[in-house]
Amino acid sequence: MKIFRAASLALDLRELQEHYQACQENKRKAANSNALSVALAGGPKTAPDADELFVITNLLRNLVDLCNEVKLVDAKQKINLTLSHLDLNPNEVDSSLGADLRNVFDVFMSDLWARVFVQVPARFIDFIDCDLLFGEAVATKFKSALPDIREAGNCMAVGSNTAAVFHLMRVAEYGLRALAHDRRIKLDKNKPIDLSTWEEVIKGLEKAEQAIQGYPKTHAREAQLDFYHGAMMEVRGFKGKFRNRVMHSRESYDPHEAMSAFTHVQKFMQVLSSRIAEGVRTPMIWKGRKWLS
């Protein structure tokens, strides 16, 4: 997602307007000066001094960077022409600079009028292009899921709620595969986990959860059972309501439902990241005090 720096643009355009007004004020003072004051003062000031010119030049270069980000072609061309004139004739800047700055402002606004920008509610600002929506542990242990985590946040930020649920279900699938890998789930005809359906994987995981219940009763077994039962509870929480419906075009989702899906998948991935990671397996039977923390 391209981020539009609206606050920076607003400040730069305001500063541009202030420099333009300063140039106009200098022209007005020059026009009102009588011959005697001109002679005594060495002539009225009609152009900015070196320090002001330095500030104006840096401002215009900042605006070029903004133009590059948003692809404002005409505004960028006009600013570059103005910069070229200032660079080639640093000692010949006169009252025409005010007109140049006004033209830059007008062309910039004209380019902006040809664009439509998406409004992001304040509560979703931190969702934009964020890999850490589910926390650092998930981002570190489930790197394959990061593109979909980021896109889910972007979709929620701009109100594309059904698309957000779609990406969240993809995130959940990465977690589901990791859980199946951890439990050494075997599918019929040795089908690869990544080519199997959710139903096949979940049935295998439910059998694995039942198997844990038959392990020798220890504190480590209780911790293991709590972990897998908690993970499967979250899977059951979003599978029927979100995954099946969004994948088969059965339903669209409003902001509240998208946030519900976000919360379920976030919890699921956080539960997983507390014990497992992509490509990393725990023992089939947990033993010892290290599993109690």
pLDDT tens column, 203-240: 889 899 999 999 999 999 999 999 999 898 888 877 76
Predicted structure pTM score? 0.77
Angle between helices 219-238 and 161-182 (to 10 degrees): 150
Q: What angle is formed at CA 23 by the lines to CA 19 and CA 28, rounded to 5 degrees?
A: 145
> Do the Cβ atoms of 204 and 183 come closer than 8 Å?
yes
pLDDT at 64 exceeding the cut of 60: yes
- The token duo for 161 is 């709620």
What residues contact residue 201 under an 8 Å CB cut-off, 6+ apart? 176, 177, 180, 185, 187, 193
Closest by alpha carbon to 183, among 216, 227, 234?
227
Note the pLDDT tens digit of each residue in 167-189.
999 999 999 999 999 999 888 77
Please give the average per-residue pLDDT across 37-57, as a whole number. Answer: 66
Residue showing tokens 């990393």 = 280
Please give the average per-residue pLDDT across 110-138, as a whole number. Answer: 92
Return the number of other C-beta atoms located less than 10 Å from residue 4's C-beta. 15
Which amino acid does the sequence have at 273?
Answer: S
- The token duo for 251 is 């339903």
Which amino acid does the sequence have at 244?
Answer: N
Closest by alpha carbon to 161, among 248, 261, 254?
254
- On the 0-12 / 13-18 / 19+ scale of CB atoms within 10 A, 117 is exposed
User: In residues, how long is the chain?
Assistant: 293
- The token duo for 44 is 């009225």
Closest by alpha carbon to 199, among 243, 251, 263?
243
Q: How far apart are CA 291 and CA 184, in angstroms?
A: 19
Which residues, in sequence order, are bridge partners of residue 87? none
* Of residues 222 and 117, more confidently modeled: 222
What element of type H or E holds 67?
helix 50-70
Phi, then psi, of 253 in degrees rounded to 5: -125, 145
The mean pLDDT value of the chain amounts to: 85
pLDDT at 46 exceeding the cut of 60: no
Which amino acid does the sequence have at 120?
Answer: V
